[in-house]
């Protein structure tokens, strides 16, 4: 073939991750799986003790995140695609969980301000600003993944 010649190969090739990414993905699946298994016991103990409800709420949100990330990583590995719809939905759910937590956690008696509060009047705090900002960032990240998913579908249609 010469320089100006080209081929038109319309066969769909199997998608593969690079060796480095595959190793990191398997490692992440293993570690988040361990956190999900061990975290279940830890959360159950915290729920029974009920010493500090704020710390228990933070731990419960963190545990749910770990489980959702674990499931998303398994689905990414199984489908061999970076942008999958369940990842976008999981991150969207995480964002809304954090936003709801920002409004709920402030009403616990053991809550201590993170230093950034939304609408504080005396001892009343409407929302934890740090958590609210993090939740909004998760929603933005979810929107970016949704756009990436749409671009990936468009690219697959073209090919």
**pLDDT (0 to 100) of residue 96:** 93
Q: Greatest CA span in the chain, whole angstroms?
A: 78
How does pLDDT run across 25-57, given as a tens digit for each residue? 999 999 999 988 888 888 777 777 767 777 778
Handedness of CA 5, 9, 10, 14 (dihedral sign): negative
104's CB contacts (< 8 A; 6+ apart) are 57
Give the pairing of strands 117-121 and 124-128: antiparallel
Integer distance in angstroms from the first to the last C-alpha of the chain?
23
How does pLDDT run across 59-79, given as a tens digit for each residue? 888 888 888 889 888 988 888
Task: Using alpha carbons, select from 111, 122, 60, 68 the residue that is nearest to residue 90.
Answer: 68
Residue 1 pLDDT exceeds 70:
no
Start-end of H helices in the chain = 19-49, 53-79, 85-104, 129-158
User: With contact defined as beta carbons under 8 Å apart, do 97 and 159 qualify?
Assistant: no
83: Cα within 13 Å, side-chain hemisphere: 16
Of 70-74, 97-101, 112-116, 130-134, which range is least confident?
112-116
Q: How sure is the predictor about 151, in pLDDT bands with cuts at 50, 70 and 90?
A: confident
Enter the pTM of the model. Answer: 0.72
Q: How sure is the predictor about 136, in pLDDT bands with cuts at 50, 70 and 90?
A: very high
**pLDDT (0 to 100) of residue 30:** 94
**How far apart (Å, rounded) are the C-alpha atoms in residues 65 and 62?**
5
**pLDDT (0 to 100) of residue 140:** 96
**pLDDT (0 to 100) of residue 11:** 58
Q: For 2, which DSSP code? A: -
């Amino acid at each position: 073939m010469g320089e100006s010649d080209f081929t038109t190969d319309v066969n769909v090739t199997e998608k593969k991750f690079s060796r480095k990414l595959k190793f990191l993905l398997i490692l992440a699946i293993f570690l988040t799986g361990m956190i999900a298994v061990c975290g279940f016991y830890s959360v159950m103990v915290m729920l029974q003790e009920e010493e500090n409800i704020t710390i228990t709420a933070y731990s419960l949100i963190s545990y749910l995140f770990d489980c959702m990330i674990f499931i998303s990583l398994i689905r990414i590995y199984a489908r061999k695609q970076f942008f999958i719809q369940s990842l976008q939905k999981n991150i969207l759910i995480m964002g809304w969980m954090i936003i709801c937590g920002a409004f709920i956690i402030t009403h616990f008696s053991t809550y201590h301000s993170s230093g950034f509060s939304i609408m504080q009047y005396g001892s009343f705090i409407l929302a934890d600003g740090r958590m609210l900002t993090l939740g909004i960032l998760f929603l933005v990240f979810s929107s970016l993944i949704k756009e990436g998913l749409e671009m990936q579908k468009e690219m697959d249609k073209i090919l």
